[in-house]
Amino acid sequence: MNALQNELGPYGLVVLGFPSNQFGKQEPGQNSEILPALKYVRPGGGFVPNFQLFQKGDVNGAKDDALAPLLQNACPPVAEEFGNPKNLFWEPLRNHDIKWNFEKFLVGPDGVPVMRWYHRANIAVVKNDIIAYMRLVFLEQDLLCAI
* Record: fold of 2-146: Glutaredoxin (3.40.30)
Q: Where are the domains of the chain?
A: 2-146
Q: What are residue 142's phi and psi, to 5 degrees?
A: -65, -40
What integer pLDDT is reported at residue 48 of this predicted model? 97
DSSP 105: E
Burial 48-83 (b: 16+ CB within 10 A, else e): eeeeeeeebbbbbbeebbebbeebbeebebbeeeee
The conformational region for residue 134 under phi > 0 = left, psi -120 to 50 = alpha, else beta, is alpha
The pTM assigned to this predicted structure is: 0.90
User: What pLDDT was estimated at residue 49?
Assistant: 97
Each residue's pLDDT expressed in tens, for the chain with a length of 147 residues: 999 999 999 999 999 999 999 999 999 989 999 999 999 999 999 999 999 999 999 999 999 988 999 999 999 999 988 888 899 999 999 999 999 999 999 999 999 999 999 999 999 999 999 999 999 998 877 766 766
Q: Give one word for 24, left, alpha or beta, with left for phi > 0 and alpha for psi -120 to 50.
A: left
